[in-house]
Structure 1
Amino acid sequence: MKKTLMIIYCLLWFVGAANAQVEISPISKSALLPAYPISVGWDHTTALVFASKVVSVDRGHGHIMAKVEEKAPNLLLLKAGQRSFKTTNLHVVTADARLYHFRVSYDESLARSSINMARQQLLSWKELQLRDFALPAKELEQTGEAVLSMDPFLNRTRRQYRMRFGLQGIYQQQGLLFFKLQVENRSRLAFVPESLVFTITDKKQAKHASVREEPLDALLQQWENSPGVPGHGQNTLVVALPQFTLSDKKQLEIQLDEKNGDRNLRLKVRGRDILKTRNLTDVQPETK
């Protein structure tokens, strides 16, 4: 019996000594998601409007009532289920693979009862000074406008649902790639976009082969006219991404989904197309 206890003690000592040597790095501040402060009340509803439909809502506690509007899935309605509850958090995931973090407190003020999160993101982009690139946010928008006026030199096109989705050109400046895309609608029904996603994937080598996906975050998404395409019309947009290249085993997939519809457009771009990128040397920032 004593011998067994001695063996157990030695094993515990070795495990403890091993664990004591493991160093756990603290979480970097830059890795923390900022929390948007919002308030909800007992006698009024707080409305959050997102750029894409809401697919998941996680509440810190049950004193917050949350409802996704059935006819407008990008609209989240919040209300207090108890008066003067303790401040908590809320996480929302949208269809464009974005996670939003909110700090929710109780307040009967109507000052912030309707918030357009899509507009909030746009304002954040305008105030953003890109850390890893030499292109300021204002010049980023001006470059996007210049790309919209460029003549097309690529012809990567996909036709679906009486729609034509095509890549007309790729341009580079100061570590960024600008993709010029055109959407043509050959039906009477207007096309209203819900989300635009860029993803790098492995090409399938076999029928049951697994495919790895790497989503890319757009730094700019700029339509020539208001977002969408009217019936029997067309529209052009520019998307800016950090510079990258692709091997022969990978491809870029561009997916433009329709809001409240199934005309989801997909376009595949090869690595050789990326290498045809042209320089932008004539774009100069405006001076006042």
Structure 2
Amino acid sequence: MCKGKLVRSAKLFIFLLLLYSCPTLAQHPISDGILAGAVSTENLEITTGQTSILVFPKPIKRHDRGSSQILTKTINGIDNVLKVKAEDSTMRKTNLTVFTTDGHIYSFQVDYSPVPAKLVYPILPDPRITIAPAPTIRLNEARIVEVADSIALTPGRWIGKHSKKSGGMQLHLTGIYLKDAVMFFQFSVSNHSPIPYNIDFTRFFIQDSQQGKKTINAEKEALPLLKRIAPMDQVDSGKKVILVVAFDKFTIADRKVFTAQVYEKNGDRHLTMKLKGKVFLKAKPVSP
């Protein structure tokens, strides 16, 4: 019996020895991504007075900070770059994980250094590890237009969210609808002033709900699939128009807000509304 145990132990020892000496599973720089069967890291050194730049081969889908002492910011119009700094010199060693749109995961061990060894990190993907995207069935473009037009004609109901008034103008959230992985937001733009209001453009983004003095104000643009204004983009005195905006289905964390902005053409009566994630739970399904 003892001899059998010794043989099994010897086989296990030899297997483990081969496993950890195998070149394909040896530690590999994290700049090449995450390896199948082993997670190896490269230390990312950051400081307070200089910004470290991570350049990814594909757009960043989201990222997760192991500590709030890591300050991160994406760049508007450059969706594959992440700027990273340390909040202060007391930052403890932590981690940072970045997910890109091609399904790759990049993980970093982050440490404070008064003088980082380098500031720019070109990141290369490792094709051996990806996240298989969940299959989704999304509406085609024609169907998105059809559903948006139908929602624009649907009587909305104010669900408790609105912007501050600006020169007699106000933005109300009147409905959230969901159809086949597409989320539709219905807003009303009301004019309580004697001056007509012409909509110039709209903007939507996600950001942290609270910003500290040393926190980088990170904003992530939310790009609509479609925008519809009914009946027209001019809001006459005492009238309102309906704005319907379609996005790929998404949710946000409790510490973040979804911000909708409407800008006036040749004017300064700009409207801003911030929505917390719990409001998304009021979404109603669109019937076939």
2:287 to 273, 276, 281: 281
Q: Does 1:268 align with 2:262?
A: no
How far the C-alpha of 1:147 sits from its partner, in A, is: 1.1
2:144 corresponds in structure 1 to 140
* One-letter identity of the residue aligned with 1:151: P
How far the C-alpha of 1:170 sits from its partner, in A, is: 0.4
How far the C-alpha of 1:260 sits from its partner, in A, is: 1.4
Could you tell me whether the CA contact under 8 Å between 2:211 and 2:217 is conserved in 1? no
CA distance in 2, matches of 1:235, 1:172: 21
Against the structure 1 CA distance between its residues 195 and 133, is the aligned structure 2 distance closer, same or farther, given a 3 Å change threshold?
farther
CA distance in 2, matches of 1:211, 1:133: 34
Could you tell me whether the CA contact under 8 Å between 1:203 and 1:250 is conserved in 2? yes
Q: Does 1:155 align with 2:153?
A: no
CA distance in 1, matches of 2:231, 2:214: 42
SS in 2 for 1:183: strand
Q: Give the structure-2-normalised TM-score.
A: 0.51
Write out the 4+ residue segments of structure 1 that deviate beyond 6 Å after TM superposition: none
Q: Does 1:181 align with 2:224?
A: no
How far the C-alpha of 1:98 sits from its partner, in A, is: 7.0
What do the CA deviations read for 1:174-222 (whole angstroms, capped 9, x no partner)?
1111000000011121111111111001011534533211101111101
How far the C-alpha of 1:152 sits from its partner, in A, is: 2.6
How far the C-alpha of 1:150 sits from its partner, in A, is: 2.6
Against the structure 1 CA distance between its residues 214 and 133, is the aligned structure 2 distance closer, same or farther, given a 3 Å change threshold?
farther
CA distance in 2, matches of 1:273, 1:175: 17
2:18 corresponds in structure 1 to none
For these two proteins, the number of residue pairs brought into alignment is 162
How many percent of aligned residue pairs carry the same amino acid? 25
Bigger shift: residues 229-238 or 261-270:
229-238
Q: Does 1:171 align with 2:177?
A: yes
Unaligned runs of 5+ in 1: 1-21, 32-96, 100-130, 283-288
Could you tell me whether the CA contact under 8 Å between 2:186 and 2:242 is conserved in 1? yes
2:131 corresponds in structure 1 to none
How far the C-alpha of 1:228 sits from its partner, in A, is: 2.5
